[in-house]
Structure 1
Amino acid sequence: MLAIQVSPPVPPMKLDPVSLRLFVSVVEEGTIAAAAKREHIAAAAVSKRLSELEELLDSKLLNRTNKGIAPTDAGLSLLFMARSALNNLNEIVVQMRDYSHGRRGSVHVLANISAITQFLPGLIKSFMDLYPLIHVSLEEKQSLAITKAVAENRTDIGIFTRLPHGADIEVFPFRTDRLVLLVPDGDPLAKRQSVRFSETLEHEYIALRSGTHLNFQLIKAANDQGRSLKIRMEVSSYDALYLMVQAGLGIGILPEGTADIYKMDGAKVVRLDETWASRELSVCVRSREALSGAARLFLEHLLERP
């Protein structure tokens, strides 16, 4: 029967970065004395470290002559590897410091469609120009879903239309937007400079999908007047709403800043003369103090930028 001999496992080497740094310094300076001065350590301690390193690696690394010290072939190989290892260790320190200071990392943001279309593109761009190592991920959600996700710690930062929410979160003022009426050219309302909401209720509406804050707001405003909102169709975005109104399929209500973005021939923006047409957008977090460094920087950017 053939006997198979298994070699015992090689014990892990205790190769420390200090010894590697001292070795590199000695090779670069050419003498132990010069390396000791450069590293602010006693020459005897440097010599001891080098001897221990040669013993640990079981290789002669340096040739000592009257003219100084020169690396052996093994020493030259170690020199290249040691420089690489020390650079990698230094990069670890640099990157970890970036994380601790917030200059590197990621931020997850939930925002409603109004904030995304009107305010966030420029803010995210200016933030990433300042902090290119921070990744910002943005996801559209409805306002109540945003406050719930923030309260449950499923996202870092939320941006929503201010409304009663009941969530245990910290809320900060962000922006104000104003709702306007969008009507097709040729509609009698297109000749008006402003209009009351009650005057629109005989028209069929193109509305955002059910569940959005704007959809709820319009239905509530109609119900408060003892009327119902005639919804002809629901769409999932403001550009789709604009196109449907432009085609003459109905009227719609959207934020003024968004209407300016999608401005097209065939439809006119009319001022909506209602107090509730002015809305507050807010930023929320679960706890400002508990945010990561990167998320805290993004929150400050949102709150400080005009």
Structure 2
Amino acid sequence: MSTLDPLSLRLFVSVAEAGTIAAAAEREHIAAAAVSKRISEIEAVLGVTLLRRTNKGVALTAAGERLVALAHRALHELDEVAVQMRDCAGGVSGLIRIAANVSSVVQFLPGEIQAFAAQHPRIQIQLEEKPSIGVVKAVADNAVDIGVFTSVPHGYDVQTFPYHQDRLILVMPAGHPLAQRKAVAFADTLAFEYVGLPSDTAISQQLTRAAHAHARPVNLRIQVTGYDAQCLMIAAGLGLGVMPCAVARQQAAKLGLSLVELTDAWAERDLLLAVRSLDALPVACRMLVAHLCGV
């Protein structure tokens, strides 16, 4: 192989995402030896080492990390060509890749994307749910075009725009000792057990920071992967939970949950939209950014 080709790049990205050559080969329905050969050929063409083999799989070198970002960009451009050439008879077409945190997916994006899709039927949209930090990293790596995330410290070089605000609220079973209060400070809840979300979510990280500020831990009784499971566990009496107010209200009536306001300033959160460079985005992506936040 004297030059790079799309298949080799796709296989390399698959190895980087899967963590092992065997897993990537299974996902791509190709022999592991063929995948390994492709990676070796890429390394020979570029003159760099992309992967380090370990007893747990493979790890990307610095050159490998950079190639992943470049490969995402190149493959996206090829996908964009295919989409636009498939139907260029009229109207704007294209492919938009979005990563968004669960709060925006549950509360805001479905209706807003539906309205955009109705106006632009030739534009395809891929939506992937990630934790907020993962959203910003995906944008910085050019793995997605647009990210929606809760404002958190991240250190990535991206452009951000205001999207929405949401408010966190305390959720508990109706008979809980705090259920009769109109509002409560988070510090006053730390004596009770919690039903928590994964540790990489913005909410879990905020609760941990707030608890550390009071030199106390969050007493996790059980940890679940999403709001639906969290509400069910709270309804079963396994602890308190913190979640966006709009989500909590959807579940409160049917599960008999009580909602109590948090008095802490951090309970009011900003949701942001991120892109690598607004000016460099394809037309379809810029149109969706304008639709979502008026940029």
Partners of 1:166 and 1:93 lie apart in 2 by 37
| TM-score (structure 1 length as normaliser) | 0.66
Instruction: Provide the residue aligned with 1:168 in structure 2.
Output: 157
Partners of 1:302 and 1:266 lie apart in 2 by 34
1:268 aligns with one of 229, 254, 258:
258
Q: Where do 4+ consecutive residues of structure 1 move more than 2 Å?
A: 92-98, 261-266
Instruction: Provide the residue aligned with 2:219 in structure 1.
Output: 230
Instruction: Provide the residue aligned with 1:158 in structure 2.
Output: 147
Q: What is the Cα deviation at residue 141 of structure 1?
A: 0.4
1:146 aligns with 2:135: yes
Partners of 2:103 and 2:137 lie apart in 1 by 18
Q: What is the Cα deviation at residue 294 of structure 1?
A: 1.1
The number of equivalent residue pairs is 211
1:249 aligns with one of 238, 244, 249:
238
Instruction: Provide the residue aligned with 1:204 in structure 2.
Output: 193
Q: In 2, are the aligned partners of 1:206 and 1:235 still within 8 Å (CA)?
A: yes
Q: What is the Cα deviation at residue 175 of structure 1?
A: 0.5
Partners of 2:263 and 2:85 lie apart in 1 by 58
1:280 aligns with one of 265, 270, 286:
270
Alignment of 1:86-235 (within 5 A): 95-96=87-88, 98=90, 103-235=92-224
CA distances 1:211-240 after superposition (whole Å, capped 9, x unpaired) = 111111101100100111001111111011
Rg larger for: 1
3-state SS of paired residue (1:96): coil
Partners of 1:295 and 1:93 lie apart in 2 by 17
Instruction: Provide the residue aligned with 2:18 in structure 1.
Output: none
Partners of 1:205 and 1:256 lie apart in 2 by 17
Q: What is the Cα deviation at residue 142 of structure 1?
A: 0.8
Instruction: Provide the residue aligned with 2:228 in structure 1.
Output: 239
2:289 aligns with one of 287, 299, 304:
299
Q: What is the Cα deviation at residue 176 of structure 1?
A: 0.5
For structure 2, list consecutive stretches of 5 or more residues without a partner in the other structure: 1-83
Q: What is the Cα deviation at residue 95 of structure 1?
A: 3.8
**Residue type of the alignment partner of 2:292:** L
Q: What is the Cα deviation at residue 93 of structure 1?
A: 8.6
Q: What is the Cα deviation at residue 262 of structure 1?
A: 2.2
Alignment of 1:28-107 (within 5 A): 95-96=87-88, 98=90, 103-107=92-96
**Residue type of the alignment partner of 1:96:** C
Partners of 2:215 and 2:100 lie apart in 1 by 32
Q: What is the Cα deviation at residue 94 of structure 1?
A: 10
Q: In 1, are the aligned partners of 2:87 and 2:122 still within 8 Å (CA)?
A: no
Q: In 2, are the aligned partners of 1:247 and 1:266 still within 8 Å (CA)?
A: no
**Residue type of the alignment partner of 1:192:** R
Partners of 2:85 and 2:105 lie apart in 1 by 36
For structure 1, list consecutive stretches of 5 or more residues without a partner in the other structure: 1-91
